[in-house]
Chains A and B, each alone.
Chain A
Amino acid sequence: MPATFRIWRGDDGNCAYEDYRVDVDDGMVVLDVVHKIQAEQAPDLACRWNCKAGKCGSCSAEINGKPKLMCMTRVGDLDLSQPVTIEPMQAFPHIRDLVTDVSWNYRVKEKIKPFKPRQPDAPDGTWRMAQSDVERPQEFRKCIECFLCQDVCHVLRDHHKHDEFIGPRFLVYTAALEMHPLDTEDRVADLKNRDGVGYCNITKCCTKVCPEHITITDNAIIPLKERVVDEFYDPLTRLFRIFKPRKK
């Protein structure tokens, strides 16, 4: 069946929508359409992709205004009576067509204190962990770094607080480290002072767009906020601190 795809094209601020008429089959995903356009109509149409199976998180884009993975969005689920718009993510600098510069994310990650395990539990240098204790951080480690949560977050997308706020992805990353049964590092002060955890006002947009269905807000961000509150704003803790210097 024929359909029209309206794709954001161009670079250096010199951009416009361009319409492509494509014959689509049931079962095709949006990334297939983009590949078809590349092969038949516009070989230089830029898009980033790798696995085409929802596992690498490369082909993030905004389809009809919604942040999605192009490889996991079936054409049959879209209204084809109207042109389908495909745009690059809005929260990052544009490079060309559907490709954005996501390097900021990689720089943010480097600043977060790395994993620091406790001493091994067994003489052979290994650890013991219960399945129930690893399940929560395992949920966070499902993250494929597609950065759709960063893209939808209004703190980054609308308010451009990239210098003050690490965004949902890296709050999830921090949560995975903080809730790792073996980790001994303390990142709570960083969360409050540098990472801007307070900027999140729990609108849960990130949770809604997560292709891995990670419960970002409830399971990662809110517990981190609680840790910050416990450590910095709890009156009882503050009282204790007067008598006992903070660790490290």
Chain B
Amino acid sequence: MADILDIQGLSKRYGAVQALDQLTIKVPEGSIYGLLGPNGSGKTTTLGIVLDVINASAGTYQWFGQPASQSTKRRIGALLETPNFYPYLTGEENLRITADVKRVDHARIPGVLQTVGLAQRRGDKFKGYSLGMKQRLAIGAALLGDPEVLVLDEPTNGLDPEGIAEVRQLIIDIAAQGKTIILASHLLDEVEKVCTHMAVLRSGKLKAQGPVSSIMAANDLVFISGGASLDQLLQIARTLPFVTDARPVNQQLQLSLQPETDSSELNRAFFSQGIALGQLVVRKKSLESQFLEIIKADSV
């Protein structure tokens, strides 16, 4: 599959702050690509640069295998940070301006308003909209050009739980039409629920990237105790080939096993050494703790 977006060594410096440091990622066609990271990690900066509103300090990027131009922009629908509209115009009048800028037929406007649930309020001024409605209008504007790629920066910001569910469903529906979606979010479960690929950013540095399933491969943690002293257990555990990590934690031994390893195998291994474990607990690693682990794994 071709890459929709190819980012090479992108950096951005604001004075003393390195907002983005040598970011290199590729977004495959047809993927839902999550850009995950805490606030201030460089997600919006990255999207701002590839959307041509922020000048990069270094690095390059290509859309659809070519440098960004007015014609590549019209194949992209994007919502960056906040919904940006004229407050004194109605939702519909605002979309007419968007349509003109994108050179899209106005006939698409009613359908888009319907899709984002604003058909009833299309004649109301933008300044009277709730935060959720503003956000939905922005998503509508992004959809207006029937883009091949949708870039959404925190699209569920300010939405109520129902709105969040709707937007996520909308994203999945749009992706089902074969479109590529690039989604920035600081919400883990949003990325997990929606995305196929992801990149994790922290302080402008890329911490991990790849298909969600491979990054989030749940290496379960196993806690064991009893049958022998902690030191003895530790010594044995370290000799076992399928144990990738072993460390004492709170009078217990915390083990990480290689993927596809069954915990009963562990039990059997200890038993063959003449130790009957008093306790063996398998704990699924939560996505949250994995995320924290990834962003804490500072090489510095």
| Bind each other | no
